[in-house]
Structure 1
Amino acid sequence: LVPDKSEWEVKPFDSAQSLKLKHFNRATGSILPDKVAKIRFAPRNGPGAWETAARKMIVRARDKGHLDFEDVRDCVADRLADKAFATRLGGALSGRFREIVVDEAQDCNPADLEIIDWLRASGINVKVVCDPNQAIYAFRGGLTGELVRFETTFASVDQLPMSGNFRSSPAICAAISQLRPPATRGGPDKAVGKHKDETAPVYILSYSGTAVPASIGARFHALAASLGIPPAQAPVLAATWASAGNAVGRAAPDAGNDKTLLLAEAAMGFHFAFAAGNRREALTRLHRVVLQVRGNLTNAGDYTTHVTTAGLDDGRWRPEIIEIGRALKVSLGESAADWLKRARALLGPNLVGSSTIGQRLRYNKKLETILAEVSPTALPSKAIHAVKGLEFPAVCVVLTAGTAGGILDVLSGTSTEPDSVEEARKIYVAASRAERLLAIAAPKSRAATLKAILGVDGHAAEILEL
């Protein structure tokens, strides 16, 4: 399976605007208007050239067996449309499996739910485990409404709510229950794990102005330290990398297509991953950038194709990239210029093409900021999507001035606006990563409303003015 096929570049000619395969209907090759509208794609002569290129790419990929999950879903749907075949296969699977458990079902899309329904209709006992409120990031296809409706297709005796929480403290359990929309809120989870006796309250860090200030990170650092929680285990999370970086005083610059900045970001991400737990993703990202620097890739979207055609999909590349990642660790007191000098020496051999390593890895004044992203005394800052599925002793979640109002309207039950519902789910996912300490940074004008929402089951959030 190809994990990043949707990111493949579609570019019919050199001067054409670059699109991704995710911007096209995989079955027809036609442009998806709602997708390209967000990137202001409006060619003078229409999208025909891009659609032709996309169709050729789709056919070539399938001929070579380069499939992703969307392709697999389409293939399954085509086969199950043959009712006679579907009945025979269902009978065979029913004879082979007594029970099938579908975990993390919040990431299912409607096509996946249809497959689950077919398994049930074939006579197999199917257990579906999910938290509908974690169905975030529409690009994955997870949709809360469909999951809630899907629940009603099970008999009431088979609808088994789970309320035992083995991760978080009682105060955090109470707070995260209130971060669900009222329609799917239910009662608070019960803390039953090793932190069930933790007494720390949930804190609301109230900040002034419209910009996310660095004082959020400073105050959260002190709160975590008071509980003996080291900075590396106390990330500051936000919907975007930029907001998270601002909250800890590190406004991460946009790397764009600058190979020096991309390499620095990947190297820093590699080292943070040992604390965060997302090592495979970080290692793949570093490998992709190294290939771009060496000239094996013209753009990041070609990564999977290169790995497959070069016969590297068995993972033989990993030891070298791990060594490169270790070698690119910033030394104590090392300047950005000295780090870049080491990076050039490390990646200088084995270049493809005529340009020198100095031409590929040019000095950029933003480099120093990126290399300072991770240090022994600094809090890690991450976008929420990077920590989904992980857990930490302490978590600070940042609500920005631009989205806080809409989020609180959703949590108050006065709004069902789709974008705000999505933003609210992100906050829920982020807060539910916390084990012992949870802080939520919010604009001063929204702090009292947030406190009122979070107060439940005898647990009152505490507002701290910044």
Structure 2
Amino acid sequence: MTTLEARRAAARERQELATTLQAPLYIQACPGAGKTRVIVNRHLAAAHAGGARGRAVVSFTNVACDEVVQRCRDAGKPQLTAFPNYVGTIDTFLWRYIVRPFLSGDRIWNRIDSWDRIGATVAVWQGQICHKLRLSDFLWSREPDETQCQAQLVRKTRNIKAYLALAKAGQLNAAGRAAVRRRDQLATKGYITGHEARIRALRMLRDHRSHAIGIISSRFDEIVIDEAQDCSALDLAILTKLRNAGIPLVFVCDPDQAIYEFRGAQPENVRTFGTTLGSCVDLVGNWRSSPAICAFAATLRPSGAQATDDPVGPHHDEGAGVLLIPAKNPRDEQTLARFNQHADALGIATERRLVLAHAAATLPSVARVGPSTPPDNHSARAAWAASVLGASIAGKTLRETAFEVFERLILHYWYTESDIDNRTVAAACEHLGLDPSQLRQLAARLISDLPDVDRTPFGAWCAAANARLRQSAPEPGKPRRDASGSLRAGSIADKTTRAAGGTPGPSLDQAIRTNIIHQVKGEEEDAVLVVVPEDTRTGTRTDDLIEAWLSDDHTSVVAESLRVLYVASTRARRLLALTFPEAYRDRVAAYLNDRAVPFHMTTQVAIAPQRSEHTAPP
């Protein structure tokens, strides 16, 4: 049998090869294979002493970019994150180097990460009934060779009544066309999301090819695309033009982690593009997870690609098996209690635990941070934001959204809707002649002066907030327009403020971090609890997902949902726990037994769990 050191040496050899081979290059990496280490080492190895050319390292999330930045700093090379290099998201890269240089100067352009940043809505009429829908509730797509976008309304809890009414009337397509028209109106005002930036980038590479390619080739001698499995058809069309123009590309991905197929990221298209780059390196060895977690993850891959990754990291001899928690209601507090009990037995600190689900609404209620987007109601939005900002575990993006809610609350209280609506906070401040930094400070003071969201009825909280808002004029002597910006509790005045905002109690300040799966790609924790996901967006029920998994039938309908489960499971280092409907207890146990996956069931099962050298007793 090959020794651990020999296996580790083989894994390091592949990393070294991926670090030194010249671009163009295709790198495939399993979870925990050290792709970030390769990207950073490649960056460090070819560091420039000076000059105008550098390297671009782009990814799809700020988390992945921040990790590259931090590792460069830890290596004593912070200059590798600054000019002439670039480390950042692909959205910013396309905007900065391909789109912005060719935009007209007839308007002020604003790149936004979501239509929610400007509160963009569209009115869709169904006879005499008007449905007001958020543009962010539409899924946007466009084939590279098409001239028009498609917008598809996504069924969500917040728009369910409108969605069902429009679906029954056969007007979902009409709603999509209305959303495209509204988007086009906002574009004339200079607002561009990542989707619109990609369309413009492709157009610029077509209409201004030599100039656009010249900008990139004179600045960068290599572009590294991290998490490339997230590339949409538009992304691949853009990269194809760069490749054809001779721009050296390093394409780093794991197609099994492609969980944005609903945005046009097709695993097979990603693989096909990677093979056109010539040289290919497969990173082997999993430095992150235990043997049981590696074995379980293999069962989630399509049939024929179920080889188990080789655990070569610090947890290569971890004895804990996968923890299965069948439950009538996976969201009840007993689910989290059982997970914590086993994590405690393994000595895993609470801050090293993570609870994941496909959507915030399906997280265990006692651990759930709440909706990742605020309610539509003006007053409830304020309650939601106050609850989020009172939680120590709320993420950076969520906190920024909550701060913007309070900034808009102040502006709405003192100015007219026409001054604020369909503008970013920054654009509204520019329009009104306000200093954005002073508005942020005003919002922070307002937040600190508000009553406790758990002990204060919503009616009393709104009254206190209105009183404080009257003392928060953004301009000295500023008169109010009218009372429309005031907070009103309405029929839910007796609820707690937290409940009014739609966030669960009793407190958001939980030690265990929770998140939705799409927001933790690239992350890892010692212990991870996964609520086997139900995807309301695609209509994939939990039952459908489990049936597909147990039958190895990865049809196109559920394939992406299985990859979502794969991504969630491979975040774990030492303990992976899954909770799923109790009816599947015996079948899941039999399936894992057949595949020699060590596991432990929290309830008595008909089939005894298989023991192995890697299976720990309960």
The TM-score with structure 1 as length reference comes to 0.78
Q: Which residue of 2 aligns with 1:5?
A: 115
Q: Which residue of 1 aligns with 2:80?
A: none
For residues 95 and 334 of structure 1, do their structure 2 counterparts lie closer, same or farther at Cα, with a shift above 3 Å needed?
Answer: closer
For residues 285 and 250 of structure 1, do their structure 2 counterparts lie closer, same or farther at Cα, with a shift above 3 Å needed?
Answer: closer
Q: Does 1:393 align with 2:522?
A: no
How big is the shift at 1:386? 4.2
Q: Which piece of structure 1 moves more, 436-445 or 258-267?
A: 258-267
* d(CA) in 2 for partners of 1:116, 1:140: 17
* d(CA) in 1 for partners of 2:570, 2:411: 40
Q: Which residue of 1 aligns with 2:295?
A: 174
* d(CA) in 2 for partners of 1:106, 1:31: 22
How big is the shift at 1:288? 2.1
Q: Which residue of 2 aligns with 1:263?
A: 382
Q: How does 1:154-233 map to 2 (within 5 A)?
A: 154-155=277-278, 158-182=279-303, 184-192=305-313, 194-207=314-327, 209=328, 212-233=331-352
For residues 225 and 99 of structure 1, do their structure 2 counterparts lie closer, same or farther at Cα, with a shift above 3 Å needed?
Answer: same
Q: Is the CA contact (8 Å cut-off) linking 2:383 and 2:497 kept in structure 1? A: yes
The residue type equivalent to 2:205 in the other structure is: L
Q: Which residue of 1 aligns with 2:424?
A: 305
Q: Does 1:285 align with 2:405?
A: no
Q: Which piece of structure 1 moves more, 63-72 or 99-108?
A: 63-72
Choose between structure 1 and 2: higher helix proportion: 1
For residues 390 and 39 of structure 1, do their structure 2 counterparts lie closer, same or farther at Cα, with a shift above 3 Å needed?
Answer: farther
Q: Which residue of 2 aligns with 1:465?
A: 603
Q: Does 1:434 align with 2:572?
A: yes
* d(CA) in 2 for partners of 1:91, 1:371: 53
For residues 132 and 365 of structure 1, do their structure 2 counterparts lie closer, same or farther at Cα, with a shift above 3 Å needed?
Answer: same
How big is the shift at 1:213? 3.4
Q: Secondary structure at the match of 1:397?
A: strand
Q: Secondary structure at the match of 2:342?
A: helix
Q: Which piece of structure 1 moves more, 102-111 or 359-368?
A: 359-368
Q: Which piece of structure 1 moves more, 390-399 or 338-347?
A: 338-347
Q: Which residue of 2 aligns with 1:244?
A: 363
Q: Which residue of 1 aligns with 2:51?
A: none
Task: Indicate the structure whose relative CO is greater, using CA pairs within 8 Å and at least 6 residues apart.
Answer: 1
Superimposed CA distance per residue, residues 316-366 of structure 1 (whole angstroms, 9 cap, x where no aligned partner): 6544445555566958x8455676666555445448641474525862526
The residue type equivalent to 1:285 in the other structure is: A
Aligned length: 455
Q: Is the CA contact (8 Å cut-off) linking 1:106 and 1:132 kept in structure 2? A: yes
For residues 232 and 341 of structure 1, do their structure 2 counterparts lie closer, same or farther at Cα, with a shift above 3 Å needed?
Answer: farther
Identity of aligned residues (%): 27
Q: Secondary structure at the match of 2:376?
A: coil
For residues 425 and 317 of structure 1, do their structure 2 counterparts lie closer, same or farther at Cα, with a shift above 3 Å needed?
Answer: farther
* d(CA) in 1 for partners of 2:337, 2:262: 34
The residue type equivalent to 1:18 in the other structure is: K
The TM-score with structure 2 as length reference comes to 0.61
Q: Which residue of 2 aligns with 1:275?
A: 393
Q: Which residue of 2 aligns with 1:422?
A: 560
* d(CA) in 1 for partners of 2:548, 2:435: 44
How big is the shift at 1:44? 9.3
Q: Which residue of 1 aligns with 2:35?
A: none
* d(CA) in 2 for partners of 1:142, 1:130: 12
How big is the shift at 1:189? 4.7
How big is the shift at 1:387? 3.6
Superimposed CA distance per residue, residues 80-127 of structure 1 (whole angstroms, 9 cap, x where no aligned partner): 334xx4256436644543211011222210110111122111222211
Q: Is the CA contact (8 Å cut-off) linking 2:374 and 2:385 kept in structure 1? A: no
Structure 2: runs of 5+ lacking an equivalent: 1-110, 156-161, 474-479, 535-539, 605-618
Q: Which has the larger radius of gyration?
A: 2
Q: Is the CA contact (8 Å cut-off) linking 2:293 and 2:322 kept in structure 1? A: yes
Q: Which residue of 1 aligns with 2:493?
A: 363
Q: Is the CA contact (8 Å cut-off) linking 1:217 and 1:379 kept in structure 2? A: no
Q: What is the RMSD computed on CA atoms of the aligned residues? A: 4.4
Superimposed CA distance per residue, residues 203-226 of structure 1 (whole angstroms, 9 cap, x where no aligned partner): 01122x367433211111222223
How big is the shift at 1:239? 1.8
Structure 1: runs of 5+ lacking an equivalent: none
Q: Does 1:101 align with 2:224?
A: yes
Q: How does 1:27-42 map to 2 (within 5 A)?
A: 32=151, 40-41=165-166
Q: Which residue of 1 aligns with 2:133?
A: 19
Q: Which residue of 2 aligns with 1:123?
A: 246
For residues 102 and 29 of structure 1, do their structure 2 counterparts lie closer, same or farther at Cα, with a shift above 3 Å needed?
Answer: closer
How big is the shift at 1:397? 0.7
Q: Does 1:150 align with 2:281?
A: no
Q: Is the CA contact (8 Å cut-off) linking 2:335 and 2:364 kept in structure 1? A: no
Match of 1:62 among 170, 180, 187: 187
For residues 381 and 96 of structure 1, do their structure 2 counterparts lie closer, same or farther at Cα, with a shift above 3 Å needed?
Answer: closer
How big is the shift at 1:78? 1.9
For residues 190 and 347 of structure 1, do their structure 2 counterparts lie closer, same or farther at Cα, with a shift above 3 Å needed?
Answer: farther
How big is the shift at 1:439? 0.6
Q: Is the CA contact (8 Å cut-off) linking 2:302 and 2:552 kept in structure 1? A: no
How big is the shift at 1:244? 0.9
The residue type equivalent to 1:359 in the other structure is: R
